[in-house]
Structures are given as C-alpha cells and as structure tokens.
C-alpha cells in the first residue's frame, strides 16, 4: 500500500506546486495592474505627462526640502495662446494633436530633473528640479517660448501655436504650494495681457 500512498503524496505535492505557481502568477498580474492603476491615477491619459495630483506631490516634496536647505523652488505656468481657436475651427483631433506635440516638446526642451505636468485643458506646469536665478529662469522660459512657437504639422497643415508663461519662485513670491501656483498663474495672465507669446515673473507679495 506504500506505493499508492506515495503516488497520492506526490500528486498532492504537484498540485500544490501548480497552485503556488498559479497564485504567484496572479499576484504578479495584480501587482502589474496595481502599477498600471497607479500610473493612470497620476498621469494625464492624452499626453502621458504627470497630472495635477502627481505634480502636487512633487511640489510638496520640493518645498519640504527647500525649507530645510534654504533653496529656491521655481515653477513655470504655461498656457497655450488661442488654443480654443484651433479646437473650434479644426476640431478636437487637431486640439489633441497640438497638446501631444506640446507635451513632447516640453519634455525635450527640459532636463531629466524637471517635472512637466498637464494640469488643465491647455495648461501645463513645470517644476524645475534645481534652484535657478531669475536670469536662468528667463533663459529657460525663453527657450520654451521659442520651442513651442514652431508650427505643428497636423494632417498636412501647419498649425501655428504659441504660449504665455508665468514664473514664480519660493520663498520670494509665495510661502506655500498653493500660493506658488497662484503666483505663477497670475504672472501667466499678465503675460497674456501683455500681448501673449511672452513671459512674466511674479511680483513679490505686498
């Protein structure tokens, strides 16, 4: 009878082994799904750039570090000029193509340490990964203005596109993440009022 018992034991052992393999596969599949969900929750589906939530996390982290080290934290608020016109006259496909092209250009023009995110319809924000002087900030913004001014090819048409950029830095222009984004946003509106396709640096409060 020992042989029959041995067979049952080895069959059970094999069954357990197979179950363990299956369970491990399911766990790794769940982990992949989890990572995918995390990615989806933190990225904009159209451009695959970080979204407002992910950007906020990085900004909070940068500010926490800056409070310890005394470094500057610089953000750029970018709004596309006359984007509504492209959307209204050529349709959403053209609008989407412009947003995707802008996202790619911003990533190409910025450094690995910088974070660029899409936070609204045609609004993008950049968190610089390293401290910068006003002169460096203007040079970076200028490079972005020029890079985004290049026409975008869509279905054989050249789409003219430009942007307005507002710049703000902690601690001069703001004491918190909310104030910093608001200051950059306000500076961007001033750039638009000044005739678009230009940049403005926030004014110190008070």
Question: Can you tell me which residue has the tokens 């230009």?
Answer: 198
Q: Is 134 a catalytic residue?
A: no
Contact 168, 202 (CB under 8 A): yes
Catalytic residue among 44, 79, 81, 122: 122
Q: How many residues belong to the chain?
A: 206
As given in the structure block, the two tokens for residue 11 are: 């069959």
What is the spatial distance between Cα 180 and Cα 191, in angstroms, rounded to a whole number?
A: 17
What is the bridge-based pairing of β-strands 115-118 and 152-154? unpaired
How far CA 16 is from CA of 2, 3, 29, 99, in Å, comes to 21, 20, 20, 52
What is the spatial distance between Cα 12 and Cα 18, in angstroms, rounded to a whole number?
A: 10
Three-state secondary structure string covering 30-97? HHHHHHHHHHHHHECCCCCCECHHHHHHHHHHHHHHHHHHCCCEEEEEEEEECHHHHHHHHCHHHHHH
Q: 32-38 — which CB contacts under 8 Å span 24+ positions?
A: none
Among all residues, which ones are annotated catalytic?
122
């Amino acid at each position: 009878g020992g042989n029959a018992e041995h067979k049952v034991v080895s069959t059970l052992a094999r069954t357990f082994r197979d179950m363990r393999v299956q369970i491990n596969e399911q766990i790794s599949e769940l982990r992949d799904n989890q990572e995918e969900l995390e990615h989806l929750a933190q990225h904009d589906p159209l451009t695959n750039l970080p979204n407002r939530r992910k950007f906020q996390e990085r900004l909070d982290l940068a500010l926490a570090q800056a409070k310890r080290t005394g470094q500057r934290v610089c953000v750029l608020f970018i709004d596309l000029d006359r984007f509504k016109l492209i959307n209204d006259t050529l349709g959403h496909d053209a609008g989407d193509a412009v947003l995707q092209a802008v996202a790619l250009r911003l990533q190409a023009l910025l450094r690995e340490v910088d974070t660029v995110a899409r936070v609204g319809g045609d609004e993008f924000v950049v968190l610089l990964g390293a401290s910068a002087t006003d002169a460096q900030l203007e040079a970076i913004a200028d490079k972005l203005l020029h890079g985004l001014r290049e026409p975008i090819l869509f279905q054989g048409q050249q789409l003219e596109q430009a942007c307005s950029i507002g710049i703000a830095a902690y601690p001069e222009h703001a004491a918190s993440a909310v104030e910093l984004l608001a200051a950059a946003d306000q500076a961007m509106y001033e750039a638009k009022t000044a005739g678009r396709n230009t940049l403005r640096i926030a004014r110190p409060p008070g």
